Structure 1
Amino acid sequence: KSKMIEVLELSDQIREMKYEVLSNKKEEKKFITKITTEIRKFVSANNITRLVIDPITPMLIGEDDFINMMMYSLAISNVITIITSNVRSSDLSFFGIEENYTSGIIKLEFADQTNGTRTMTVIKMRGGTYHTAPFRYRITSDGVVPAEEVSLPPTGGSLLKPFREAL
């Protein structure tokens, strides 16, 4: 399984369990324990060292204590965890406190949707120095490439078109 991507789909389970939590506050700890136990089992059974939760927002309930318990429960020894969250362009987090639990925040945005240019800005990174200037990039068949290194098609057409056609 070296260099393989494993997907653990929890959307339906989360939706059902979250409804129970919203209707009965006593179920919060059970919800967190059930989800994080399943994630931890999956990580351990598959010897995973990098975990991506995309996005975390559906798993959270907007109460500080709940978010605190969930974020600490997701900390797994020897595993790098990347968590995504959908936010408005002016925000750093959905609930307003998630950034307090992270070692870093990298904000991804579209700069120009017509040619597929995006921007990546490091907002916070503990333990080292970093540049705060936005980095412009494009996603191509070669991967993530600096925008300056990608030539646009002569017609000026969208770079996103091949991706849309592939879907």
Structure 2
Amino acid sequence: MISVGQKFPEFSKLAVVSLEKGKEFETITSDYLTNEDDVWTTIFWWPKDFTFVCPTEIAEFNKNFGEFSDRNTRLIGASTDSEFVHLAWRNNHDDLRGLKFPMLADTSKSLAEDLGILTNDDQKVAYRATFIIDPQGIIRWVSVNDLSVGRNVKEVLRVLDGLQTDELCPCNWEKGQETLTV
């Protein structure tokens, strides 16, 4: 699995960005991750659309969209389902209609494979992986959950806060607390 300190892999994928007819899809590339505006990226993966744990996570990320924006961080959700399945799911699930971030479609599974987050069974779906990427496109944090356990969005925000201080943060540190001095 790709890890902290490595460059996020290059990619070009279709994503669902809107429910408006004719404006549903957009191509997102790895160029989107590197920028001169000091914008961070959090990309999180779920195993499959139209499942049970996944929409709880996606909805929670969406509820916290403003928290990520306040931290100058863009959100991207992703799975190995197609853009058409993403669109159908958004249209059919109350908690997903108003998403404020793109749903990336990795139908070839090439990006998930490059990241090393595919299951080792016949389905080859992505684990519940979360990556925090700095403005230079370098992975600064990775967390992977097994398929049955949803992640903690508040913990993703806490780690993002710590990384953005560029200081030493002790165990259980939270934004606003003292960092360590050497």
* TM-score band w.r.t. shorter chain: under 0.3
Question: Normalized per residue, which structure has more helix?
Answer: 1
Larger radius of gyration: 1
Which TM-score applies when normalising by structure 2?
0.25
TM-score (norm. length: structure 1)? 0.26
